[in-house]
């Protein structure tokens, strides 16, 4: 019987190490990809904790584990998924477009732009409408031509952030948006 307990405790130690490494990987992925809440991200964060709980319940049933030790391991085990969930929530908040956030947080525009495109149809929008939503264009010579305006979005998304991303809006003679694109310098 003692060998069965030792085996279960050994498996718990191995799972604990893998658990910590997994959540460290989640942390890196969430930050690099700027992930937010989705079915996949939520499931990926919750499932390892559920398996940890099942493993602890098996330990409780087949070993002499005390309730205090069980609760302590559960409390420690919930910290990584909670931390990842908080980071996902922060990313979700940062990625939602509002005029105030757009104007106040120039370096985070790169995360808001997708929500902006999903919310607003730029094609055909008047220049004054664009200015009321996005504020004054960035003063720059990057990608600047007579018939366009340019907005700085921030450092490019991804692991290696060398370049910057820019929103380039092209207008026709009636000052309506006819084309837009995100460019990197």
- Please indicate, yes or no, whether residues 79 and 161 belong to a single structural domain of this protein: no
The count of domains in the chain is 2
Using the 3D structure, point to which of 76, 95, 114 is the last residue of a domain. 95
If asked whether residues 135 and 121 sit together in one domain, one would say: yes
pLDDT value at position 1? Answer: 57
Domain boundary among 95, 126, 149: 95
Same domain membership, residue 117 and residue 52: no
What are the residues whose beta carbons fall under 8 Å from the beta carbon of 122, sequence distance 6 or more?
A: 130, 169, 177, 180
Here the CATH number for the domain that contains residue 180 is: 3.30.1450
Residue 100 CA to residue 135 CA, distance in Å, equals 10
Least confident interval from 105-114, 125-134, 155-164 = 155-164
Q: Which range marks the domain in which residue 73 is found? A: 2-95
Mark whether 85 and 113 lie in a shared domain.
no
pLDDT digits (tens, 9 = 90+) for 131-172: 999 999 988 888 888 889 999 999 888 777 788 999 999 999
Cα 120 from Cα 181, distance rounded (Å): 14
Residues 20 and 84 in one domain: yes
- CA 86 from chain center: how many Å? 10
pLDDT of residue 167: 94
Structural contact between residues 133 and 99, judged by C-beta atoms closer than 8 angstroms = yes
């Amino acid at each position: 019987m003692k060998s069965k307990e030792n085996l279960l405790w050994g498996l718990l130690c191995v799972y604990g190490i893998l658990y910590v490494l997994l959540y460290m990987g989640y942390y890196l992925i969430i930050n690099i990809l700027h992930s937010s809440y989705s079915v996949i991200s939520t499931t990926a964060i919750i499932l390892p904790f559920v398996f940890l709980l099942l493993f602890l319940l098996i330990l409780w049933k087949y070993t002499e584990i005390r309730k205090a030790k069980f609760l302590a391991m559960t409390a420690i085990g919930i910290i990584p998924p909670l931390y990842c969930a908080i980071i996902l929530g922060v990313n979700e908040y940062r990625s939602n477009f509002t005029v105030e956030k757009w104007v106040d947080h120039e370096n985070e525009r790169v995360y808001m732009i997708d929500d902006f495109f999903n919310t607003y149809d730029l094609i055909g929008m008047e220049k004054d409408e664009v200015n009321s939503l996005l504020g004054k264009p960035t003063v720059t010579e990057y990608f600047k031509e007579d018939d366009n305006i340019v907005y700085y979005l921030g450092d490019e998304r991804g692991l290696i952030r060398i370049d910057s991303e820019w929103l380039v809006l092209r207008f026709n003679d009636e000052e309506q948006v006819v084309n837009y694109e995100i460019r990197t310098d």
